Structure 1
Amino acid sequence: MLRKFVLGTLIALIGAVGGVLAVNAWEQWRADGDAPVRTVGVPTLPSAPAAAHQLDPRTGDLNSRITTAAPQEGVAVPALHPQVQAQGMEIVQVIINEHTDSWMWLGPALAAAQFSFFEDLSGSCASALGCYNHRTGEAWLSLDALRREHESYSPYEGPSSSDIVLHELAHAYTRSTSNGNQLLNQFIIHYAGCRSDRDGLSTDRLAEELLADTMAIAAMRATEDPSGLSLSSLIKTPALAELDYGYFRTGGFDGCLADSRVPDPALLNAIYAATFDCESDHALDVYEANQGPYALTLPSDNEQTILKTCYGVECDAGNDCRGWSETDPRQTAASETIQHRNCADGIVTLPGLGERAGWESSCGRSYVPDDVECVVDLNGNEVNLDYAYVVFAGEISEDGICVGLWCRDQTETFAMVGGACRNRH
């Protein structure tokens, strides 16, 4: 009887220890050979002295390697000097600023994330570049995580500091907001039964990593310049099926029939619908670059998703876009905003006339800046206040005639003849 009691007690202890170890297990973010970013239950880091001061033998300067108490469990971990911590946050903020115009989730994510920076991560986060604690909300980054740059022209092929920071922020958003939790539930349902035996990820934890990867992919892709004349629009970024990103790779996970190479399009659309800012400059840029039948380039995957999410326009691979409508209030508002933006601030290129201020592109007199002396039409004739078509800046000549600056500046081609700007040829 006693032996049964002792045996039962040992089994219970073994089960409890196994449960703790399972919670503390780390999980890799990247594929084999890439620098990992890990998520953990409760990282177990060794304790350290309150502060250790060392004299640099080369300079004689006193370098402080200050130790702070981690927010969870009262565990002391060796952190970097407060000035380095501040510099780390500055880098994180720069990365966030590159994407906040397009994505509404980054502000709440930053408010929820508790960033700390280390020379190297220890314990269950050892050898990782970044580590996120789902229980406490802490995000830990090594300095190497902030030094990584993309080795390719493509801005989302990673790993880079932007990929890593966005991935960790996505975890913070998922953990701390109802929208993030709803997105996670969609990923859990879609990838039910999926696991990553190679990386030691359970079904639910794999869904968390796939969501963070997808949010990072979407954010990086939205940095594309949709301008019809830009190099990035002519050299289109690879389709999602061509990526090898994070857990999305051939044979990336097991146990289910879901595609392991790419994010599911419906889930990607859900992220845009929940967190993309359709009133952002980037959304307007995409709308303007693809509006109407005269678009110069095929819309990228990112542009297609924005057109569908924000304006109800669906495009297929052949650039056949359906849904343009003069009565859709979203499209009407976007067109009016684009016209005002171009007329008031933009720079346009007119054939044979070079770059001109946006208000010179068929905007009319209402947008003429106050410092313009007078305005002329395309023929160089001065126009009155009621003229509502394309106008150009001019100046009053010595004989009191309004001379268009473009006519004055291109004397080899144009000349003022009979009060109008005439072509010399």
Structure 2
Amino acid sequence: MEHATHPFQIPNFRAYVVSRFAKMLAQYAMLLIIGWQTYNIARDGGMTVGEASGQLALIGLLQFVPLFLLTPLTGLVADLFNRRNLARLTLLGQIACALTLAIATSQDAISLPLLWGVAVVLGIVRAFAGPAYSALAPNLVPPRLLPTAIALSSIAWQTGMIAGPAMGGYLYVVDPALPYAIATALYVAALIGITMIKNLPPRQPTPKAPPLAQIRDGLAYVGQNRMVLSTITLDLLAVFLAGATALFPVFARDILQVGATGLSQLAMAPAVGAAATAILFSVRPLKNNVGPMMLVAVAIFGFATIGFAFSRSMPLSLALLFVVGAADMFSVYIRQSLIQLHTPDEKRGRVSAVSQLTISASNEGGDAFSGSLALAIGPIAAVALGGIGAVATVAMWAWLFPVLRKTKTFDPPANVLEASPKPSTEPDRQES
């Protein structure tokens, strides 16, 4: 709707945000409890802190490997096929995972092999869900509203990150199966939301090249566009090195000794900081010095992570994690806006898939890395060393990619604006 002055005036975008919020709420509740159950089963089975941390690394690895292997294919699928239907299929897979864990936990049949298997399935469905959701969003609003839409979508994401762990941890105390049961219902709500999206604009014609050539084309675009490449890889390395979330069960049980409710609070703190930043950007979108500010935000992310590693006070730890989340959201907002606005629509599925691969490498891959590093040198040293690595990455990227230092606004190149379709209220046959 070209006359819209705010993304929430567009019904399709409202349905999208509701779907994403419900999906994120369920997902982060599930992931928290999967990690908590994995760590506790390992510790109660006689494993040391380091060995149990290795099990957390394995959970991250089992999610990351399918994402890594399938991402080139999933980006092409998002560009070739109906993105709404693809999102629906992935939600059905996540419903099956949540329901399986709910039943197994209620029957006291939860085990490490079952958790490993669910992690693999989640990795597969999330490989397809990411490009479908990300590439769909820019088709719902005019380009001029996209930065605000990204901020609002991020609010839904970050609110899910806040409420999801809180819901998961506290419901787990009531009944260990309850978080998974609620997650199942939320995934159903997300499915309803994505189904409510109607009358998308016509898609740009997909090049009639062989699938492998199209995949290479998407990868080549990322490699050749220094702006897209620099923002994607900066996030990849910084979060890969400094991601402490996989070790929250270790800090909750054995370092800060705050239990399941404390685990919820640790998981919530960075999300609260991220949501506060997203809310700020939805009201006052960032317009100037976007590249330099992204570099500063990632550096702050690294320093706050170092502080968290050495904190033995729960209030201080929560405050530092709040800063971690706020700085990360600052970076995410800038990165997502630049990537979406600097990519033609016919390549957004493939570029979104590459972006998702780096996000998954930094999140699930980072979980595997931090868990393995904790097994080798201990959890405290692993988190501190990761924070140092993130700060070093900022310095290196500021030198390697001058375009990032010099980027002042989100304005895309003229060729991208010309190639992007305009949102429409008329139905089309490709996406109906």
Q: Please indicate the TM-score interval, normalised by the length of the shorter structure.
A: under 0.3
RCO higher in structure (CA 8 A, sep ≥6): 2
Q: Between Structure 1 and Structure 2, which shows a larger proportion of helix residues?
A: 2
TM-score (norm. length: structure 1): 0.24
Q: Between Structure 1 and Structure 2, which shows a larger proportion of strand residues?
A: 1
